[in-house]
């Protein structure tokens, strides 16, 4: 008899991808996906610990689930992801309603862990740190039928001083190129049109392997796969963006003209304290170089405000770069001390009200820039890949330009998976409205 599974995913794209793997594995154990927590036999929380708030969200959700478990003592509650990997059995102490803890590096063993919980009705934990990146199960249950995430490298060796990821996802381990290529060929056979290659630092791909295939080389190999029309990748570290990658991006038809290049701070003093390995001048010169190769490139970034010791002067430098680069999109964060990290033990914290002020200041500047750039697209036409119906307005289809802009438009035909031309009729802050360009005969 099939059982109901609900999964709550917190955090980044890597976690969303891991959730697809978790669902895929559990479907193999006869679980069916539900959004209704009350009807679930098992609830999985795939957690994030990048900032304190993300962690708090998980523990307050666990508080609510405790009441559900009181009503239904057979309910199985599992905690996976980054919090599970670093906190381990401390979660059992804080939340005794939890039956299963499995870290980011233990998803491959989920089947046996779940079976064990079901059999024993006791607690099970899997937080081993060693894993083989090449035995990821092929059972991934993908939400989209058009665009798929494909992990190419796990972990991070950069140890930026604010960041918990090297502790939650371990050291860098690249998957074998043959396994990645097989996975993408399989996706193409299933009709997928787009792949997004995932890794904390995709530019490090292959450094831990001896076959000489680095990230640009991997891109060239994926470019050859029939059926795949678009290739994207996240995340790139500015210190590792090479000229070879820029050439590759310029020369390959399928690699989209979008790059997510986290700046974090515009101040060299703060960049140095963050351990980022580049100066703002080096960062800007890479962007200039990239634009000289690919003038239409769209760049997005991550910024942290309020890193310990950030002065008004440091902050102003970040503001200047934001105005100079004119990113299309930014992801803005207030610094959150993480206990495991080097910066977590620094004492010269920026007061919350100043962080808030700086955050709002940058947000306002960016909103103006994003809107200006999107408005400038009104009247132009562009090629989009149709992803499906819009969640907000099911009467519309939602699609993406190669530059990663969302375009919503009306259509009386389901065009999911098609690549078509649209005219942009309205540029909003986060998305564009378009209309289909009818082709004459």
**Residue selected from 233, 335, 359, 409 as contacting ligand 5AD according to rule CB under 6 A:** 335
CA distances to 9, 23, 216, 224, 315 from 220, in Å: 32, 31, 6, 7, 39
Residue among 106 and 200 whose Cβ is closer to ligand SF4: 200
158 binds ligand SF4, rule: CB under 6 A: yes
Q: How many CB atoms lie within 10 A of CB 145?
A: 14
**Contacted entry of ligand SF4, ligand 5AD, none for residue 333, CB cut-off 5 to 8 Å set by kind:** ligand 5AD
Residue among 236 and 399 whose Cβ is closer to ligand SF4: 236
Residue among 165 and 248 whose Cβ is closer to ligand 5AD: 165
**Contacted entry of ligand SF4, ligand 5AD, none for residue 159, CB cut-off 5 to 8 Å set by kind:** ligand SF4
Q: How far is the CB of 131 from ligand SF4 (least distance, A)?
A: 18
**Residue selected from 201, 318, 366, 399 as contacting ligand SF4 according to rule CB under 6 A:** 201
Q: Is 414 left (phi over 0), alpha (psi -120 to 50) or beta?
A: beta
Q: How far, in Å, CA of 130 to CA of 170, rounded?
A: 9
> At 407, phi and psi to the nearest 5?
-125, 120
> At 72, phi and psi to the nearest 5?
-135, 85
**Residue selected from 108, 157, 302, 383 as contacting ligand 5AD according to rule CB under 6 A:** 302
Q: For ligand 5AD, which stretch binds (CB under 6 A), given 92-100, 219-227, 329-337, 388-396?
A: 329-337
Whether 336 and 359 have beta carbons less than 8 Å apart is answered as: no
Residue among 162 and 409 whose Cβ is closer to ligand 5AD: 162
366's CB contacts (< 8 A; 6+ apart) are 322, 327, 330, 332
Q: How far is the CB of 342 from ligand SF4 (least distance, A)?
A: 11
260 binds ligand 5AD, rule: CB under 6 A: no
**Contacted entry of ligand 5AD, ligand SF4, none for residue 408, CB cut-off 5 to 8 Å set by kind:** none
441's CB contacts (< 8 A; 6+ apart) are none
Q: Which of 419, 422, 437 is nearest to 193 (CA)?
A: 419
Whether 424 and 432 have beta carbons less than 8 Å apart is answered as: yes
Q: Which residue has the tokens 């979008």?
A: 258
What is the distance, to the nearest Å, from the Cα of residue 138 to the centroid of all Cα atoms in its chain? 20
**Contacted entry of ligand 5AD, ligand SF4, none for residue 197, CB cut-off 5 to 8 Å set by kind:** none
Q: How far is the CB of 12 from ligand SF4 (least distance, A)?
A: 9
Q: For ligand 5AD, which stretch binds (CB under 6 A), given 97-105, 237-245, 331-339, 380-388?
A: 331-339
Q: How far, in Å, CA of 151 to CA of 207, rounded?
A: 16
240 binds ligand 5AD, rule: CB under 6 A: no
Residue among 262 and 434 whose Cβ is closer to ligand 5AD: 262
**Contacted entry of ligand 5AD, ligand SF4, none for residue 399, CB cut-off 5 to 8 Å set by kind:** none
**Contacted entry of ligand 5AD, ligand SF4, none for residue 317, CB cut-off 5 to 8 Å set by kind:** none
How long is the chain?
441
300 binds ligand SF4, rule: CB under 6 A: no
Q: Which of 183, 182, 178 is nearest to 148 (CA)?
A: 183
Q: How far, in Å, CA of 400 to CA of 419, rounded?
A: 9
Determine the size of the site formed for ligand SF4 (CB under 6 A): 10
50 binds ligand 5AD, rule: CB under 6 A: yes
Mask of contacts with ligand SF4, 163-182, x by CB under 6 A?
A: x-xx----------------
Q: How far, in Å, CA of 124 to CA of 268, rounded?
A: 46
**Contacted entry of ligand 5AD, ligand SF4, none for residue 156, CB cut-off 5 to 8 Å set by kind:** ligand SF4
Whether 47 and 169 have beta carbons less than 8 Å apart is answered as: no
Token code pair at residue 279: 């100066």
What DSSP state is assigned to residue 417?
Answer: T
> At 302, phi and psi to the nearest 5?
-115, 140
156 binds ligand SF4, rule: CB under 6 A: yes
Q: How far, in Å, CA of 189 to CA of 144, rounded?
A: 15
Q: Which residues bind ligand SF4 (CB under 6 A)?
A: 156, 158-160, 163, 165-166, 200-201, 237
Please give the residue ranges that form the binding site for ligand 5AD (CB under 6 A).
Answer: 50-51, 162-163, 262, 264, 302, 304, 333, 335-336, 338
């Amino acid at each position: 008899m099939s059982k109901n599974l609900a999964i709550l995913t917190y955090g980044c794209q890597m976690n969303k991808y891991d959730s697809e793997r978790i669902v895929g594995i559990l479907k193999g154990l006869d679980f069916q996906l539900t959004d209704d927590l009350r009807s679930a036999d098992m609830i999985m929380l795939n957690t994030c610990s990048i900032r304190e708030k993300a962690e708090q969200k998980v523990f307050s959700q666990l508080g609510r689930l405790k009441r559900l478990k009181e009503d239904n003592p057979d309910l199985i509650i599992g905690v996976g992801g980054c919090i599970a990997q670093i906190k381990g059995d401390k979660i059992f102490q804080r939340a005794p309603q939890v039956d299963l803890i499995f870290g980011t590096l233990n998803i491959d063993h989920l089947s046996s862990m779940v079976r064990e919980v079901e059999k024993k009705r006791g607690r099970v934990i899997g937080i081993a740190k060693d894993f083989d990146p090449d035995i990821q199960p092929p059972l991934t249950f993908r939400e989209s039928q058009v665009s798929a995430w494909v992990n190419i490298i796990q972990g991070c060796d950069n140890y930026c001083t604010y960041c918990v990821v090297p502790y939650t996802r371990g050291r860098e381990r690249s998957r074998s190129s043959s396994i990645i290529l097989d996975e993408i060929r399989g996706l193409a056979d299933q009709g997928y049109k787009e792949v997004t290659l995932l890794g904390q630092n995709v530019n490090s791909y292959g450094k831990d392997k001896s076959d000489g295939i680095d990230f640009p080389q991997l891109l060239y190999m994926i470019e050859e796969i029939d059926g795949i029309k678009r290739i994207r990748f996240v995340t790139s570290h500015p210190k590792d963006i090479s000229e070879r990658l820029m050439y590759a991006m310029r020369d390959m038809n399928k690699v989209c003209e979008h790059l997510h290049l986290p700046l974090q701070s515009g101040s060299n003093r703060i960049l140095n304290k963050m351990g980022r390995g580049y100066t703002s001048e080096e960062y800007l010169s890479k962007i200039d170089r990239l634009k000289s190769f690919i003038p239409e490139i769209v760049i997005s970034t991550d910024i942290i405000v309020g890193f310990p010791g950030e002065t008004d002067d440091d902050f102003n430098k970040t503001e200047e770069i934001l105005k100079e680069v004119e990113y299309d999109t930014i992801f803005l964060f207030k610094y959150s001390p993480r206990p495991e990290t080097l910066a977590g033990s620094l004492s010269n914290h920026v007061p919350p009200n100043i962080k808030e002020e700086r955050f709002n200041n940058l947000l306002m500047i960016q909103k103006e820039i994003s809107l200006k750039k999107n408005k400038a697209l009104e009247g132009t036409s562009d090629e989009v890949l149709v992803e499906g119906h819009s969640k907000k307005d099911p009467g519309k289809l939602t699609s993406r330009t190669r530059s990663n802009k969302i375009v919503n438009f009306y259509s009386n035909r389901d065009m999911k998976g098609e690549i078509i031309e649209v005219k942009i009729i309205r540029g909003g802050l986060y998305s564009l409205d378009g209309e289909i360009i009818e082709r004459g005969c």
